Amino acid sequence: MNTYVATGKNEKRPAKSKAYAAIVWHEFKKNKGALIGLGLVIFFISIGLLAPYISPHDPLLMNQANRLQPPSITHWLGTDEHGRDLMSRIIHGARISTTVGVVAVLIAGVGGVTLGLTAGYWKSADAIIMTMIDLLMAFPFLLLAIGIVSILGPSLTNTMIAVGIGGIAGYCRVTRAEVLRVRELEFVEAAHALGYSNARIILNHILPNVLAPIIVMVTLTLGSSILGAAALSFLGLGAQPPQPEWGFMLNSARSFVMRAWWYSVFPGLAIMLMVLGFNMLGDGLRDALDPRLKNMM
């Protein structure tokens, strides 16, 4: 990211920001895997947004006469044990999974970045916050999420909260490390010398210069958040029937693996492709935002 210099009225330099964005996009386009990941992400977000319009059937409509039907012209991906169209449920499940991932990452990002900025900027708060983060990281992610959902009660909303809380530690540590580096740079010292408030220095001078790793982390943790939410739903702690959530669909398909292979294959494939898309996108952004690009500014 470009650094902002405390020089009075013209602190920000939009031209440099645009030039940097152009460099990042140029590097990103070179990575075919990143473009594939971007395509997968756009695909799943699109079908999630358009689910009510492109879904061929009502995802909640039961028809016992069509119970466990294999893929056909009428039901392209087959039906489940209640005769519901699997393709329709997977399409609507994309909306649920995307929402869960975005909300969970929002909770983790806002909480983690706020704590990281505080710990990195104020040395007096550093020890207290990092001790809390170390305690949080002492628990395995899935076990921590299960514990939180068990306390709050099984539901999709509580799943998003649990997954979000579990991701706070990672954002906090990354943000703190970047703040410790940036706060010693000359433009931050100049801002102090000019008498700027701490809030102004953090928001206008430090935060914009620590965003690159945070952006990469967002794309990477979106995939893991979706996977974590699916795991909780698979265990019966997330989405509840009749919600068409992919993890819950896999849980329901366990009893029919040998009789109806499509029931478990297609929801599992959807989870794999969405998580793969976000991971490939994150890897591409990480490479495009390589610190060495800063020297080109």
Give the model confidence (pLDDT) of 62-113 as tens digits.
999 999 999 999 999 999 999 999 999 999 999 999 999 999 999 999 999 9
Averaged pLDDT, 216-245:
91
User: Which amino acid, 12?
Assistant: K
User: Which amino acid, 134?
Assistant: D
User: Which amino acid, 32?
Assistant: K
CATH of domain 24-57+76-296: 1.10.3720.10
| Strand, coil or helix: 297 | coil
Give the pair of three-digit tokens for residue 144: 């921590």
On whether the CB atoms of residues 137 and 169 are closer than 8 A, the answer is yes
User: Read out DSSP for 204-233?
Assistant: IIIGGGSHHHHHHHHHHHHHHHHHHHHHHH
List strand residue ranges (DSSP E) for 72-230, in order. Answer: none
Q: What is the pTM of this model?
A: 0.86
The rounded percent of the chain whose pLDDT value lies above 70 is 92
Phi, psi (degrees; rounded to nearest 5) at 228: -65, -40
Split at pLDDT 50, 70, 90, the class of 247 is very high
What would you measure as the largest C-alpha separation in the chain, in angstroms? 77
pLDDT of residue 232: 93
Statement: residue 294 has pLDDT above 50? no
The rounded percent of the chain whose pLDDT value lies above 90 is 69
pLDDT of residue 241: 87
Statement: residue 295 has pLDDT above 70? no
Sign of CA dihedral 234, 238, 242, 244: negative
CA distance 40 to 46: 10
Statement: residue 49 has pLDDT above 60? yes
pLDDT of residue 184: 87
